[in-house]
């Protein structure tokens, strides 16, 4: 039986999808008309409708200074070694979402753009004790946002998974998030601190993908944003396990937190927040913070103090600094000749060509990851074409 072809410009609705399924049945495919196929066909028709209209990209919901950092329907990451104040950075971001209109607290420069759009902040903790550490952190968020310690803002939710066995945490988290989605119509800003503790084994593909898939479904089906905190492997820039690799791939914004080094490669008091990935914008330059005993929390670092630390260290042309400049020059896919790259780096570090070539050789022989603008871990590749030496970044093979 000859069927009438679809008009690509017609308005497609539920009846059209049912008609297509009926046509498949008539062709003898009754057994394969599954719920999954129905979902795929419905999604295809939704995409067709959206594709036919002007695409309006979402505005950011949170900025840091002038930089757009967090967008609707996204997964975002803060990564770093243990003890670099990842949670305190997340607390400032939460406070920015909860901040009362007119509150003057600076919150490290984080500001939400629309005070009429109320988000419900959901803080999920897995590490801190329930008697002092977590309650104090929750107090800190409220006070920074302009509330009193004894207040209970209706759009601030929080739980701990500390008392749930690791094997059962994913199921418990899934159940709780379903409960929250039913209890409010507000957009949700969900913090997982730390995200690897929400699953049974962050090195197993199936366990890692359970949480990744849950977040992907949530941001596509609901007005939800995730902020995942994750530890890096010791002495590495790589987030932990298979989960960390997949999380980097799916994230829209990835911030890396770490102490700045002095000329002797010792930690200073200055903390650098570096953007490893900005999917919706050009990659932002780092900003610098430090812990203040007077403020009992994080504050923006003084620009003069920051430049002093960086300039003193740059004369050493450390691997860490070399990586930052190589990412800047090659991270967008650019290929440079040996002469071009050495000229730039010698000027940046006021160092000899011999010193720079020695540092480049160290980077190429080490396991240190360099990140491109898409947030992919890369290796620095040196190749010779027609007697000219070139450098470029090559993404690492995925798991």
* Predicted local confidence at residue 3, as pLDDT: 43
Residues 6+ apart with CB under 8 A from 311: none
Higher pLDDT, 301 or 308: 301
- Residues 121 and 160 both lie in one domain: yes
CATH code, 202: 3.40.50.300
Q: Over the stretch 88-133, which tens digit does the pLDDT of each residue have?
A: 999 999 999 999 999 999 999 999 988 888 999 999 999 999 999 9
Provide the domain count of the chain.
3
CA pair distance 252, 73, nearest whole angstrom = 10
In this prediction, residue 21 has a pLDDT band, given cuts at 50, 70 and 90, of low
CA 333 from chain centre, in angstroms, equals 21
Final residue before a domain boundary, out of 311, 329, 359: 311
- Residues 174 and 252 both lie in one domain: yes
Final residue before a domain boundary, out of 56, 77, 102: 56
- Residues 168 and 84 both lie in one domain: yes
* Predicted local confidence at residue 4, as pLDDT: 45
First to last CA, the chain: 48
Higher pLDDT, 20 or 364: 364
Tokens of 160: 């701990």
- Residues 228 and 337 both lie in one domain: no
- Residues 67 and 79 both lie in one domain: yes
DSSP result, 216-274: HHHHHHSSEEEEEEEEBPTTSSSBSHHHHHHHHHH-SEEEEEEEEE-TTS-EEEEEEEE
Query: Which whole number is the average pLDDT over 156-166?
Result: 96
Final residue before a domain boundary, out of 13, 29, 56: 56
Rounded to 10 deg, the angle between the 319-330 and 338-349 helix axes is 130
CATH code, 333: 1.10.10
- Residues 70 and 6 both lie in one domain: no
In this prediction, residue 87 has a pLDDT band, given cuts at 50, 70 and 90, of very high
Contact 222, 193 (CB under 8 A): no
Contact 185, 117 (CB under 8 A): no
* Predicted local confidence at residue 157, as pLDDT: 97
- Residues 274 and 166 both lie in one domain: yes
Q: What are the helix (H) ranges across the chain? A: 14-26, 35-51, 86-98, 133-145, 169-183, 205-221, 241-250, 303-314, 319-330, 338-349, 353-365
- Residues 258 and 376 both lie in one domain: no
* Predicted local confidence at residue 27, as pLDDT: 62
- Residues 194 and 335 both lie in one domain: no
Q: What is the extent of the structural domain holding 98?
A: 62-311
- Residues 304 and 177 both lie in one domain: yes
Q: Over the stretch 338-353, which tens digit does the pLDDT of each residue have?
A: 999 999 999 888 888 8
In this prediction, residue 176 has a pLDDT band, given cuts at 50, 70 and 90, of very high
- Residues 139 and 114 both lie in one domain: yes
* Predicted local confidence at residue 94, as pLDDT: 98
Q: Over the stretch 134-152, which tens digit does the pLDDT of each residue have?
A: 999 999 999 999 999 999 9
pLDDT for 10 beyond 50: no
- Residues 93 and 223 both lie in one domain: yes
* Predicted local confidence at residue 30, as pLDDT: 52
Higher pLDDT, 352 or 337: 337
């Amino acid at each position: 039986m000859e069927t009438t072809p679809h008009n690509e410009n017609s308005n497609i609705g539920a009846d059209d999808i049912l008609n297509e399924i009926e046509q498949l049945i008539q062709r003898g495919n009754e057994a394969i008309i599954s719920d999954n196929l129905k979902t795929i066909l419905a999604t295809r028709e939704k995409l067709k409708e959206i594709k036919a209209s002007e695409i309006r990209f979402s505005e950011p919901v949170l900025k840091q200074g002038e930089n757009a950092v967090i967008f609707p329907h996204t997964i975002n990451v803060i990564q770093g070694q243990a003890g670099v104040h990842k949670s305190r950075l997340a607390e400032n971001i939460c406070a920015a979402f909860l901040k009362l209109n007119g509150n003057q607290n600076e919150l490290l420069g984080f500001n939400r753009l629309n005070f009429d759009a109320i988000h419900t902040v959901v803080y999920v903790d897995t590490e801190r004790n329930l008697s002092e550490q977590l309650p104090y952190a929750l107090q800190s968020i409220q006070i920074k946002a302009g509330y009193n310690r004894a207040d209970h803002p209706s759009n601030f939710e929080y739980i701990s998974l500390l008392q749930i066995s690791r094997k059962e945490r994913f199921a418990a988290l899934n159940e709780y998030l379903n409960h929250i989605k039913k209890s409010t119509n507000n957009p949700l800003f969900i913090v997982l601190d730390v995200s690897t503790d929400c699953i049974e084994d962050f090195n197993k593909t199936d366990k890692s993908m359970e949480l990744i898939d849950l977040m992907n479904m949530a941001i596509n089906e609901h007005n939800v944003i995730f902020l995942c905190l994750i530890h890096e492997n010791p002495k590495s820039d790589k987030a932990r396990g298979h989960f960390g690799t997949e999380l980097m791939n799916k994230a829209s914004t990835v911030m890396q937190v770490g102490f700045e080094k002095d000329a002797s490669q010792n930690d200073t008091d200055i903390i650098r927040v570096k953007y490893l990935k900005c999917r919706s914008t050009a990659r932002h330059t780092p900003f610098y913070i430090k812990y203040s005993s007077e403020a009992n929390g994080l504050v923006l670092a003084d620009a003069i103090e920051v430049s002093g630390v960086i300039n003193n260290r740059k004369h050493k042309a450390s691997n860490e600094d070399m990586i930052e400049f190589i990412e800047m020059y090659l991270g967008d896919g650019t290929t440079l000749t040996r002469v071009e790259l050495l000229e730039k780096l010698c000027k940046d570090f006021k160092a000899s060509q011999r010193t720079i070539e020695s540092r480049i050789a160290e980077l190429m022989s080490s396991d240190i990851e360099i990140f491109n603008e898409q947030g992919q871990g890369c290796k620095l590749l040196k190749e010779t074409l027609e007697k000219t030496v070139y450098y470029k970044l090559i993404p690492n093979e995925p798991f």
